[in-house]
Structure 1
Amino acid sequence: MNTQQNAHESHVLSMNREFDAPRELVFKAFTDPDQLAAWFGPVGVDSPRDRIVVEPRVGGAWQLVMVWEEDGLAKEGPIDAVISVFHPPSLLVATQRVEPDVGATSQIELRLEFEDLGGRTRLHLIQGPFGSAEFLDMTREGWGTSFTKLDKVLA
């Protein structure tokens, strides 16, 4: 492996989060557009329902547009991914092609593993590789506040 490849491998996000809800409900929160619209995106960021497309199958779309205001201007962050692994309610993997200027490599994989804890769920999220430690940290923070919003949707 070359040095640049090793650097990108070090910018992979791995995090665990437990939810006080059954695995099937947590999984559905990632595949149901109405639920995604209610929680997806960091605090201060919305994901309008009319801009979410989920085709829950291998080869299907997993698309959202996050919108926010910054310095008085409307900003958008599109996510255009394709589902590559789909095993409800335990595993969802999607791959997103991205432009290099968003702080990432040309392709980011999102792997979501849902572990049944007997009425509760442990989510293990792996995402990357990202092009920089800064973008990885920003993504970690974004997921953290998104999951706080998800806790409220699942309650």
Structure 2
Amino acid sequence: MTDLRLERDFSVSPDRLYKAVTARADLLKWWGPEGMDVPEDDMDFTKTGPWFSVMRNSEGQRYKVSGHVTHVSPPKSVGFTWAWHDDSDQRGAESHVTFTIEQTETGARLVIDHRDLGDDEISANHEKGWSSSLNDLAKLLQ
């Protein structure tokens, strides 16, 4: 299994960054790679329980992912399982994501740990997706 770790610094307080990565209203503004929107969701990372989102690209293609929020530790971290759905809405292989917030001298750092991704190609695809999503998160927090 391959793991992925990304870090991005933001010039906001740790509390603000935590809200941006857990509250539905903020999540919907940056969730998914750039150019995607989220027409359907049940995302609330402020409490444990099931979640899902459907991301849609500019051509109308839809990509569903779901899981279970496994831990919530404000304002430090939130963790959740992650699995893509196929065209028949069947969940695929499950991985686990943890968002960790760290205070820095200039604001806060988001660390994304995405574990159990399968192989290097799957990890590389997720790295592209998360990196693009983080660009939208940066825009939200400006």
- Fold conserved between structures, TM > 0.5: yes
1:52-63 equivalence runs, <5 A:
52-54=42-44, 56-58=46-48, 60-63=49-52
The DSSP-based 3-state class of the residue aligned with 1:116 is strand
- 1:51 paired with 2:37, answer no
1:92 to partner: Cα distance? 0.5
What's the offset of the Cα at 1:34? 1.6
Q: What's the offset of the Cα at 1:55? A: 5.4
Residue matched to 1:3? none
Aligned-residue Cα RMSD (Å) equals 2.3
Distance in 1 of aligned mates of 2:45 and 2:136: 23
Deviation at 1:100, TM superposition (A): 8.8
Distance, in Å, in 1 between the alignment partners of 2:47 and 2:105 is 26
TM-score, normalised to structure 1's length?
A: 0.78
Give the length in aligned residue pairs: 139
Q: What is the TM-score with the length of structure 2 in the denominator?
A: 0.85
The amino acid that maps onto 2:41 is: R
Structure number with higher helix proportion: 1
SS class of match (2:34)? coil
Deviation at 1:89, TM superposition (A): 0.8
Structure 2 segments unaligned to the other structure (5+ residues): none
Q: 1:19-76: CA deviations, max 9, x gaps?
A: 111111111112221211111111121123x524315223x23322111145xxx222
Larger Rg: 1
Encode CA deviations 1:84-126: one digit per residue, 9 max, x unaligned. 111011010101244699xxx7211001110012561111111
Moved over 3 A (4+): 97-101
Gaps of 5+ in 1: 1-7
